[in-house]
Amino acid sequence: MAVVFERPKSLCDVPLHYCPGCTHGIVHRLVAEVMDEMGIEGNTVGVCPVGCSVMAYDYFGCDMIEAPHGRAPAVATGVKRTNPDKFVFTYQGDGDLAAIGTAETVHAATRGENIVVIFINNTIYGMTGGQMAPTTLPGQVTQTTPFGRNPELAGYPVRVCEMLSTLTGVALAQRVAVDSVPHVREAKKAIRKAFENQKEKKGFSIVEVLSTCPTNWGLTPTDALKRLRDEMIPYYPLGVYKDSVAGGND
Ligand SMILES: Cc1ncc(C[n+]2csc(CCOP(=O)(O)OP(=O)(O)O)c2C)c(N)n1
Ligand code: SF4
């Protein structure tokens, strides 16, 4: 019988700890599929964040290293510079990447570090119980914004791809989503492109993936996908914000 669907080899055969309906699992799969297709599992180092994906090292078959909160791009910088022949990627949530890790993110990007950053934007701090993240939408109820995020008090959400696309060192800044099959396919293409950029030494590539956190949003997995589509995509438009050889836009 022909096998039409199977677990990517780069994804370990272990149960995932993520909540039912959480899209972290989809993104893990896409990264693993890209590693399989490029045949780079044995030559890749992933850098884990703090947050729900802290244990991503249990799931990927490549070498993995754990970074302190927000420091993944700095750790990845060290790994890549000392092992230029390795593929190096970080996998980070929005609390990790766009709150405590803002400096590391911006400076790794502006230095044009030849790494891949997979950025999971679920508009909330998932692991710690649902506090406001820099990406929380105006009006969104979280544990720390019980009346909805009020921009007058809490400022406006950070649009990471738009912000980083102004930096010369950035080769690719693309926002994708995993709420539907066509979007999942697009997401995979973007992740593949980011890894190909690294192979071609183009510089810093970030793929922002709009994701769900049904648990802390208080929604069923299906309604969470609907929220992603109806509320997140209008605020965070999908698309390619920068696609060039690093430095080529200046
Ligand atoms: C320096 C530091 N500050 C705060 C924390 C607590 N902390 C751990 S995970 C987390 C939130 C992570 O949220 P996010 O990055 O959005 O990932 P998610 O869990 O939503 O996937 C926080 C605040 C920590 N571990 N270290
Ligand atoms: S808390 Fe949210 S982000 Fe974390 S595993 Fe559960 S659904 Fe996913």
User: In 3-state terms, what secondary structure has residue 67?
Assistant: coil
- The answer to the question of residue 151 being in a domain is yes
| Ligand 1 atom 2, closest CA | 69
- The answer to the question of residue 117 being in a domain is yes
pTM of the model: 0.96
**Residue with tokens 């993104």, as numbered in its chain:** 27
134 ligand 1 Cβ < 6 A: no
- The answer to the question of residue 201 being in a domain is yes
Q: What is the pLDDT of residues 15-69, one digit of tens each?
A: 999 999 999 999 999 999 999 999 999 999 999 999 999 999 999 999 999 999 9
- Domain count of the chain? 1
- The answer to the question of residue 18 being in a domain is no
Task: Quote the strand ranges of the chain, DSSP E.
Answer: 44-48, 63-66, 87-93, 116-121, 170-177, 204-210, 239-243
Relative to the alpha carbon of 129, which ligand is closest?
Answer: 2
- The answer to the question of residue 11 being in a domain is no
- The answer to the question of residue 182 being in a domain is yes
Domain CATH code at residue 205: 3.40.50.970
Pairing of strands 116-121, 63-66: unpaired
- The answer to the question of residue 189 being in a domain is yes
Relative to the alpha carbon of 17, which ligand is closest?
Answer: 2
Q: What is the pLDDT of residues 221-250, one digit of tens each?
A: 999 999 999 999 999 999 999 998 644 444
Residue range of the domain that includes 38: 24-243
Which of 69, 105, 124, 228, when mutated, tests ligand 1's pocket best, judged by the most ligand atoms within 8 Å of its CB?
Answer: 69
> In angstroms, rounded to a whole number, what is the distance separating the alpha carbons of residues 18 and 184?
18
- The answer to the question of residue 97 being in a domain is yes
| 233 in Cβ contact with 159 (< 8 Å) | no
